[in-house]
Amino acid sequence: MNKTNGGVNEYVTVTIGTQLFGITIDLVNEIFKPARLTYVPLSHPDIAGVLNLRGRIVTMIDCRRRLGISALAGQRDYMAVGVERDGDHYGLLFDGAGEVLRLAPESLEATPVNLDLHWKKVSKGVFRLETGLLVVLDINVLLDFSRRAAA
Amino acid sequence: MDDLLRDFLTESGESLTIVDGEMVKLEAEPNNKDVLQKIFRLVHTIKGTCGFIGLSRLEKVAHASENVLGKFRDGVLQVTPDAVTLIFESLDCIKAILTGIEQTESEPQGDDSDVIARLERMASGEGGGPAPTAAALEAAFNAAVADEVPTQPVVKEVAPTDDAKPEAAKPTVAALPVAAGKAAEVSVANQSIRVNVDVIEQLIVMVSELVLTRNQLLEMVRHSNDSEFKVPLQRLSNVTAELQESVMKTRMQPIGNAWSKLPRIVRDLGNELGKKIELQMHGAETELDRQVLELIKDPLTHMVRNSADHGLETPAERKAAGKSETGTIILRAFHEGGHILVEIADDGKGLPVEKIKAKALANGIVTEAELARLSEAQVHRFIFHAGLTTAQKVTNVSGRGVGMDVVRSNIELIGGSIDLKSKEGSGTTFTIKIPLTMAIISALIVGVQKMRFAIPQICVMELVRASDSSDTKIERINKTSVLRLRDRLLPLARLSEVLNLPALEGETAPESYIVVAQAAGRTFGIVVDTVFDTGEIVVKPVCSVLKDIALFSGNTILGDGSVIMILDPNGVASAVSGEVATRSAAEDAAASVTASTEQKQSLLLFRAGSQEPKAVLLGAITRLEVVDAQKFERSDGRHVLQYRGSLMPIVTSLVGSLREEGSQPVLVFSEDDQTVGVAVDEILDIVDATLRFELTASGSGIVGTAVVRDRATEVIDISYHVSDVFQHWFTKRTVPALRRHVLLVDDSPFFRTMVAPLLAAAGYDVTEAANAELALKMKDEGKFFDVILSDIQMPGMGGYKFADAIKQDPTWRSTPVIGLAADTDGDELGTFDALTRKFDRDGLLETVRGFIGSQERAA
Closest CA to B317 of B283, B365, B278, B275: B275
- Sign of the dihedral defined by the CA atoms of residues B768, B769, B775, B780, in that order: negative
CB contact under 8 A, A86 and B544: yes
Query: B336: how many CB neighbours lie within 10 A of its CB?
Result: 14
Closest CA to B769 of B790, B793, B795: B790
Task: Assess A50–B contact: CB distance below 8 Å, yes or no.
Answer: yes
- B693-742: per-residue pLDDT in tens? 544 334 456 766 676 766 777 777 776 676 666 554 444 333 334 567 88
Cα dist from B813 to B802, B809, B833, B850, whole Å:
12, 6, 11, 18
Quick check: B337 and B288 in contact, CB under 8 A?
no
Higher-confidence position of B386 and B662: B662
Mean pLDDT is highest, among A72-76, A135-139, B714-718, for: A135-139
- A98-108: per-residue pLDDT in tens? 788 898 888 88
CB contact under 8 A, A41 and B501: yes
Q: What are phi and psi of B167, to 5 degrees?
A: -55, -30
Query: B344: how many CB neighbours lie within 10 A of its CB?
Result: 23
Q: What is the CA radius of gyration of chain A?
A: 16
Kind and range of the H or E run holding B432: strand B427-435
Res. B386 pLDDT band, cuts 50 70 90: low
- In this prediction, residue A14 carries a pLDDT of 93
Cα B115 from Cα B68, distance rounded (Å):
12
- B508-534: per-residue pLDDT in tens? 666 788 999 877 667 888 999 889 877
Closest CA to B740 of B858, B599, B849: B849
Quick check: B607 and B681 in contact, CB under 8 A?
yes
Mean pLDDT is highest, among A139-143, B381-385, B489-493, for: A139-143
Task: Give one word for B309, left, alpha or beta, with left for phi > 0 and alpha for psi -120 to 50.
Answer: alpha
Cα B739 from Cα B306, distance rounded (Å):
45
Q: Which of B206, B214, B545, B548 to mutate to test the interface with A (most CBs of A within 10 A)?
A: B545
Residues of A in contact with B209 (CB under 8 A): 54-55
- B640-664: per-residue pLDDT in tens? 888 777 778 888 888 878 888 888 8
What average pLDDT score do residues B752-778 get? 81
Task: Give one word for B90, left, alpha or beta, with left for phi > 0 and alpha for psi -120 to 50.
Answer: alpha
The beta-carbon neighbor of A42 closest among B205, B499, B540 is B499
Higher-confidence position of B750 and B836: B836
The beta-carbon neighbor of B557 closest among A42, A44, A52 is A52
**Looking at the predicted structure, is the pLDDT value of residue B186 above 90?**
no
The beta-carbon neighbor of A38 closest among B206, B562, B825 is B562
Question: To 5 degrees, how large is the angle CA B427–CA B433–CA B439?
Answer: 145
Task: Assess A141–B contact: CB distance below 8 Å, yes or no.
Answer: no
What average pLDDT score do residues B112-124 get? 84
- In this prediction, residue B504 carries a pLDDT of 67
**Looking at the predicted structure, is the pLDDT value of residue B444 above 50?**
yes
Residues of B in contact with A146 (CB under 8 A): 825
Interface of A with B in 72-101 (CB under 8 A): 86, 88-90
Which of B33-37's residues contact partners 24+ apart within 8 Å by CB, and which partners? B33/B73, B36/B69, B36/B72, B36/B73, B36/B79, B37/B73
The beta-carbon neighbor of A41 closest among B499, B563, B826 is B499
Mean pLDDT is highest, among A54-63, A69-78, B144-153, B531-540, for: A54-63
The beta-carbon neighbor of B565 closest among A40, A148, A149 is A40
Q: What are phi and psi of B457, to 5 degrees?
A: -55, -30
- In this prediction, residue B671 carries a pLDDT of 62
Mean pLDDT is highest, among A131-140, B127-136, B410-419, B759-768, for: A131-140
Cα B90 from Cα B852, distance rounded (Å):
84
Cα dist from B847 to B443, B732, B816, B818, B854, whole Å:
37, 12, 11, 8, 11
CA distance B251 to chain A (A): 16
What average pLDDT score do residues B312-323 get? 89
Cα B167 from Cα B245, distance rounded (Å):
10
Interface of A with B in 97-136 (CB under 8 A): none
- In this prediction, residue A60 carries a pLDDT of 95
Kind and range of the H or E run holding B711: strand B711-716
Kind and range of the H or E run holding B462: strand B460-467
- B223: which residues sit within 8 A by CB, 6+ positions away? none
Residues of B in contact with A41 (CB under 8 A): 451, 499-501, 551, 565
What average pLDDT score do residues B397-409 get? 59
- In this prediction, residue B445 carries a pLDDT of 92
Cα A94 from Cα A21, distance rounded (Å):
10
Residues of A in contact with B499 (CB under 8 A): 41-42
- In this prediction, residue A21 carries a pLDDT of 92
Relative orientation angle of helices B772-780 and B799-808, to the nearest 10 degrees: 20
- In this prediction, residue B644 carries a pLDDT of 74
**Looking at the predicted structure, is the pLDDT value of residue B681 above 60?**
yes
Res. B3 pLDDT band, cuts 50 70 90: low
Cα B269 from Cα B256, distance rounded (Å):
20
Interface of B with A in 800-829 (CB under 8 A): 823, 825-826
Residues of A in contact with B823 (CB under 8 A): 148
Question: To 5 degrees, how large is the angle CA B275–CA B281–CA B285?
Answer: 160
CA distance B658 to chain A (A): 48
* Mean pLDDT taken over chain A: 84
**Looking at the predicted structure, is the pLDDT value of residue B42 above 80?**
yes
CA distance A44 to chain B (A): 8
Strand B702-708, strand B711-716: pairing: antiparallel
Mean pLDDT is highest, among A36-40, B39-43, B78-82, B358-362, for: A36-40
Closest CA to B25 of B71, B84, B76, B70: B84
Residues of A in contact with B501 (CB under 8 A): 41
* Mean pLDDT taken over chain B: 74
**Looking at the predicted structure, is the pLDDT value of residue B60 above 50?**
yes
Cα B699 from Cα B737, distance rounded (Å):
8
Query: B609: how many CB neighbours lie within 10 A of its CB?
Result: 12
**Looking at the predicted structure, is the pLDDT value of residue B683 above 60?**
yes
CA distance B545 to chain A (A): 6
The beta-carbon neighbor of B540 closest among A39, A44, A57 is A57
Mean pLDDT is highest, among B199-208, B230-239, B530-539, for: B230-239
Closest CA to B682 of B610, B789, B580: B610
Q: Which of B247, B450, B543, B548 to mutate to test the interface with A (most CBs of A within 10 A)?
A: B543
Strand B711-716, strand B613-617: pairing: parallel
Instruction: Name the amino acid, one letter, at B809.
Output: D
Task: Assess A45–B contact: CB distance below 8 Å, yes or no.
Answer: no
CA distance A151 to chain B (A): 11
- In this prediction, residue B169 carries a pLDDT of 37
CB contact under 8 A, A41 and B209: no
Q: Using DSSP, state whether B216 is helix, strand or coil.
A: helix
- In this prediction, residue B809 carries a pLDDT of 80
Residues of B in contact with A42 (CB under 8 A): 499-500, 549, 551
Mean pLDDT is highest, among B31-35, B330-334, B555-559, B791-795, for: B330-334
Residues of A in contact with B825 (CB under 8 A): 146-148
Cα B103 from Cα B106, distance rounded (Å):
8
Higher-confidence position of A44 and B737: A44
**Looking at the predicted structure, is the pLDDT value of residue B447 above 60?**
yes
- In this prediction, residue B857 carries a pLDDT of 36
- In this prediction, residue B736 carries a pLDDT of 39
**Looking at the predicted structure, is the pLDDT value of residue B591 above 50?**
no
**Looking at the predicted structure, is the pLDDT value of residue B841 above 60?**
yes
Residues of A in contact with B207 (CB under 8 A): 55
- B428: which residues sit within 8 A by CB, 6+ positions away? B307, B311, B345, B346, B348, B350, B351, B420, B421, B422
Res. B692 pLDDT band, cuts 50 70 90: low
- B504: which residues sit within 8 A by CB, 6+ positions away? B449, B450
Residues of B in contact with A40 (CB under 8 A): 546, 549, 552, 565
Residue of A nearest to B823 (CA): A148
Residues of A in contact with B204 (CB under 8 A): 55
What average pLDDT score do residues B387-396 get? 49
Residue of B nearest to A150 (CA): B826
Strand B817-821, strand B787-791: pairing: parallel
- In this prediction, residue B506 carries a pLDDT of 58
Q: How many CA atoms lie within 13 A of B191 on its CB side?
A: 13
The beta-carbon neighbor of A145 closest among B545, B557, B565 is B545
Residue of A nearest to B558 (CA): A52
Task: Assess A52–B contact: CB distance below 8 Å, yes or no.
Answer: yes
- B226-283: per-residue pLDDT in tens? 677 888 888 888 898 888 778 777 777 788 888 888 888 888 888 888 888 888 889 8
CA distance A105 to chain B (A): 32
CB contact under 8 A, B545 and A51: no
Residues of B in contact with A86 (CB under 8 A): 544
The beta-carbon neighbor of B555 closest among A50, A86, A148 is A50
Residue of A nearest to B538 (CA): A55
- In this prediction, residue B544 carries a pLDDT of 84
Mean pLDDT is highest, among A19-33, B560-574, B714-728, for: A19-33
Question: To 5 degrees, how large is the angle CA B627–CA B630–CA B631?
Answer: 60
- In this prediction, residue A88 carries a pLDDT of 87
Give the whole-number percent of chain B exceeding pLDDT 70. 75
- In this prediction, residue B696 carries a pLDDT of 39
CA distance B415 to chain A (A): 16
- In this prediction, residue A13 carries a pLDDT of 92
DSSP type of residue B631: G
